[in-house]
Amino acid sequence: MNVYLEILRPFNAMMAVITIVLMAVISGQFTFNVFLAGIVVFISTGAGNAINDYFDHKIDAINRPERPIPSGGISLKTAGIYSLLLFVVAIIIGFIIGLLPGIIVFFSALLMVYYAYSLKKKCLIGNISISFLTGMSFVLGGVVVNELLISIYLGFFAFLMTMAREIVKDMEDMEGDKMEGASTLPIVYGKKVSSLIAAFFMILASLASPALYFLGIFSILYLIVLSVGIVIFLRGAVLILKDQSTQNTKKISKQIKIGMAVVFLAFLIGSSIFF
């Protein structure tokens, strides 16, 4: 994979684009602005990943030496310039869509940079920041298609799922984060407490997510597909409580990502556009 694409973590960026696609499907609107919003989310998410790698290059040399910067695929300076240029492009396109989308993209970009520079190393604040940004992808889509309330509902559940994954990732990266003087949740309070909080978010997301059917947002097909995601999250909650080893947290982090993909699929299949 080309290093300039790899540093964007295209799979994660495409997961973010799905939030825009979902809002378009739910609203039945497939306008040019929706297309532009998808581009904005991909570029800004990729830029966020790149700037994160820029500030985390020392930690990644320990935790993820295969990444573009520590592996020597791209220089530190080039990665920094590249990410900032991408942010500028995303903000410009955001304002082309409209004033409010532009403002959302602008402040989201600022938060991404500040998160990578400082907030990531702080106990829970970093987790909350990145989870908030995930939820804001739905809100941006909701603003573009004039379905703000529904986008807030979906953004809330995306927030819960992302919180679980971010905490598990901090448990996975604990050794490298310690060497950089980070104060993440597992470093400050230990892996056991972190596992309890991560499990709490997985269980809460599982128990609360069927509400979207009862609120009339999605059809019964939503519940059918969602049940698979719920099983994945509940299984992850049980496993993280049993075993907080680095090897296990890596597996659970991947499982949560799969679970989120299943839930997003449930959003899509359960959308009223199919009925």
Angle at 224 between CA 218 and CA 225, to 5 degrees: 85
Write out pLDDT tens, residues 4-20: 999 999 988 998 999 99
Higher pLDDT, 272 or 257: 257
Give the global pTM. Answer: 0.88
Per-residue confidence (pLDDT) for residue 146, from 0 to 100: 94
pLDDT score recorded for residue 59: 79
In tens, the pLDDT along 58-113 reads: 878 777 888 999 888 899 999 999 999 999 999 999 999 999 999 999 999 999 99
What pLDDT, in 10s, does the model give residues 126-143? 999 999 999 999 999 999
pLDDT in tens, 198-245: 999 999 999 999 999 998 889 999 999 999 999 999 999 999 999 999
Min mean pLDDT across 55-59, 112-116, 160-164 is at 55-59
Q: Measuring CA to CA, which residue among 213, 205, 269 is closest to residue 236? A: 205
Phi/psi-derived region of residue 190, left when phi > 0, alpha when psi is between -120 and 50, beta in every other case: left
Q: pLDDT tens for residues 265-274?
A: 999 899 855 4
Q: Taking the mean position of all CA atoms in its chain, how far away is CA 29?
A: 24
Whether pLDDT at 114 is above 70: yes
What pLDDT is recorded for position 273? 53
**Cα 245 from Cα 240, distance rounded (Å):** 9
Domains of the chain: 3-274 (1.10.357.140)
pLDDT at 187: 93
